[in-house]
Amino acid sequence: MNSRVNPMRVTTPPDSKRSMACLPARPGQLAGAEGIESELPSLDTATIRRDFPILQRQVHGKPLVYLDNAATSQKPRRVIQALVDYYEGMNANIHRGVHALAEEATDAYEAARQRIGRFIGATEPAEVLFTRNTTEAINLVAATWARENVRAGDDILITAMEHHSNIVPWQWVAERQGARLKYVEFGPGGEIKLDEVASLLTPRTKLVSMVHMSNVLGTINPVADVARLAHDAGALMLVDGAQSVPHLPVNVADLGCDFLAFSSHKMLGPTGVGVLWGRRDLLDQMPPFLGGGEMIDLVGRERSTYNALPWKYEAGTPNIADVIAFSTAVDYLSELGMDRVRAHELELVAYALEQLGSVPGITLYGPDALQRRGGVASFSIEGVHPHDLGQIVDYEGVAIRVGQHCCQPAMESLKVGGTARASFYVYNTPDEVDTLVRALLQAQEMFS
Ligand SMILES: Cc1ncc(COP(=O)(O)O)c(C=O)c1O
């Protein structure tokens, strides 16, 4: 198969019987794919792949097939070069220096904030706070906004498909402040129901914090609808965009959320940088997160006053080089076009689900309807432990993720100890799906 993915033409009828724990769609019967047609020019994966040096390497003597993008993505040469350029030509601390290097570095850092803000439709760069990752962004809201606004007897609503980073901080808020943590369960198709969300909202609900795209099920949750419900109930809405911002066009105004958290390393950028986008009025009112340099205005012996947004939330020397390189990654994605990124992954996941269906004993997890899932295929194979699967496909050069995916409550709901997961990005091809499926067939044969 050619490595260039054709424009989306998956137009087969839905298979309404397919569910989380039943047989996968048969070739030519892709469930819920109707209406997914795109005339967008397809991504030229052959050219894209040349931008990613790591894709040239071999693993166990085989070409690397990297299908662990939900864990972290690979980096294009341009992003790696941005780091080198920064350290070779500009390195200085920002905001305080008056010398040329400090001014250049400050300008590049703040320009990065503007570009990243534009990428998600922020109305002003001051709404874009740099953190270390999605985890820290969510913890920031829990440690600041929630500390001030959640009282004993209040509720926080999350779902059973959350990553641990969107569970543990709320458990702490609940314990510390006497609040209740409530869960929206997902059904056998890996989806939540809006009427269930509505039934769990009460006047005591202060926050709904929900993953936009699940890293386990691939489910794309209707977060804009949930935000409307939350606001009608008087609650705020935080969206965990760790998996959605890298793979879908995401605009905070369209989502109607109050906070959005995401990580650079999952979207072609370096590790060590995340973003918390927040509504200016909320960020203005919230107390600071960490105390120290940068975040202050005046420091007296007893008390201090704080800097303006966004620096009020960026104590200490930030991750300057990685923030700048992150904006290079965002430019790269913008040039590809997020609509085309989405269409490419939809085509790949449709093909993957179809091909995985040929593996005896396989169970696929996640929604029937392709429109409501991202480029993630989670599965298990009867009689083969996910870790064995992971190791056997690794011998063929294929990198997938196995285990609980930092989502133990979701594993509990699925009634499994773990799953195997292939997750796709802009450089993946149908050929790579074929390599994965061949490796899985070998594993299945070995254990049958
Ligand atoms: C849905 C989701 N939320 C949050 C996270 C945490 O991201 P990070 O480790 O970059 O903080 C992940 C990471 O896999 C994720 O998939």
Q: What is the CATH number of domain 79-334?
A: 3.40.640.10
pLDDT confidence bin for 171, thresholds 50/70/90: very high
pLDDT confidence bin for 38, thresholds 50/70/90: low
Residues 269-280 have pLDDT tens digits of 999 999 999 999
- Cα–Cα distance, 367 to 53 (Å, whole number): 34
Give the residue, by CA position, lying nearest to ligand 1 atom 14.
71
Nearest atom of ligand 1 to the alpha carbon of 135? 11
Mean pLDDT for the chain overall: 92
pLDDT of residue 320: 98
Residues 225-264 have pLDDT tens digits of 999 999 999 999 999 999 999 999 999 999 999 999 999 9
What's the mean pLDDT in 50-60?
Answer: 98
What's the mean pLDDT in 91-108?
Answer: 95
Ligand 1 proximity of 421 Cβ (cutoff 6 Å): no
Nearest atom of ligand 1 to the alpha carbon of 271? 10
Strands (E), 150-299: 155-159, 180-184, 205-211, 236-240, 259-263, 274-278, 296-299
| Residues carrying CATH 3.40.640.10, the chain | 79-334
| Residues carrying CATH 3.90.1150.10, the chain | 9-69+337-447
Query: Looking at the predicted structure, is the pLDDT value of residue 189 above 80?
Result: yes
Give the residue, by CA position, lying nearest to ligand 1 atom 15.
242
Q: What is the CATH number of domain 9-69+337-447?
A: 3.90.1150.10
Ligand 1 proximity of 264 Cβ (cutoff 6 Å): no
Distance (Å) from CA 163 to ligand 1 centroid: 6
Structure pTM? 0.92
- Known catalytic residue: 407? no
> What number of residues does the chain have?
448
Nearest atom of ligand 1 to the alpha carbon of 212? 1
User: 197 or 23: whose pLDDT is higher?
Assistant: 197
pLDDT of residue 225: 98
Nearest atom of ligand 1 to the alpha carbon of 263? 10
Query: Looking at the predicted structure, is the pLDDT value of residue 265 above 50?
Result: yes
Ligand 1 proximity of 428 Cβ (cutoff 6 Å): no
- Cα–Cα distance, 386 to 216 (Å, whole number): 14
Q: Which residues have a Cβ under 8 Å from the Cβ of 73 and sit 6 or more positions away?
A: 246, 265, 266, 267, 268, 425
**Partners of 447 in the beta sheet?**
none
Nearest atom of ligand 1 to the alpha carbon of 137? 11
Distance (Å) from CA 244 to ligand 1 centroid: 11
Ligand 1 proximity of 211 Cβ (cutoff 6 Å): yes
pLDDT of residue 25: 33
Ligand 1 proximity of 134 Cβ (cutoff 6 Å): yes
3-state secondary structure of 271: coil
Ligand 1 proximity of 69 Cβ (cutoff 6 Å): no
* DSSP notation for 297-356: EEE-SS-EEEPPTTGGG--SS--HHHHHHHHHHHHHHHHH-HHHHHHHHHHHHHHHHHHH
Residues 113-170 have pLDDT tens digits of 999 999 999 999 999 999 999 999 999 999 999 999 999 999 999 999 999 999 999 9
Ligand 1 proximity of 244 Cβ (cutoff 6 Å): no
Nearest atom of ligand 1 to the alpha carbon of 136? 11
Query: Looking at the predicted structure, is the pLDDT value of residue 14 above 90?
Result: no
Give the residue, by CA position, lying nearest to ligand 1 atom 16.
215
Distance (Å) from CA 164 to ligand 1 centroid: 8
What's the mean pLDDT in 54-83?
Answer: 98
Ligand 1 proximity of 240 Cβ (cutoff 6 Å): yes
Query: Looking at the predicted structure, is the pLDDT value of residue 411 above 70?
Result: yes
Distance (Å) from CA 78 to ligand 1 centroid: 24
Q: Percent of the chain, pLDDT > 70?
A: 92
Annotated catalytic residue within 22, 257, 406, 407: 406
Residues 302-337 have pLDDT tens digits of 999 999 999 999 999 999 999 999 999 999 999 999
Query: Looking at the predicted structure, is the pLDDT value of residue 20 above 90?
Result: no
Query: Looking at the predicted structure, is the pLDDT value of residue 21 above 80?
Result: no
Residues 329-345 have pLDDT tens digits of 999 999 999 999 999 99
Query: Looking at the predicted structure, is the pLDDT value of residue 361 above 80?
Result: yes
- Cα–Cα distance, 11 to 32 (Å, whole number): 9
pLDDT of residue 29: 35
What's the mean pLDDT in 407-420?
Answer: 96
What's the mean pLDDT in 1-26?
Answer: 29
Query: Looking at the predicted structure, is the pLDDT value of residue 1 above 60?
Result: no
Give the residue, by CA position, lying nearest to ligand 1 atom 12.
242
Ligand 1 proximity of 242 Cβ (cutoff 6 Å): yes
What's the mean pLDDT in 69-98?
Answer: 97
User: 105 or 37: whose pLDDT is higher?
Assistant: 105
Ligand 1 proximity of 219 Cβ (cutoff 6 Å): no
What's the mean pLDDT in 350-370?
Answer: 95
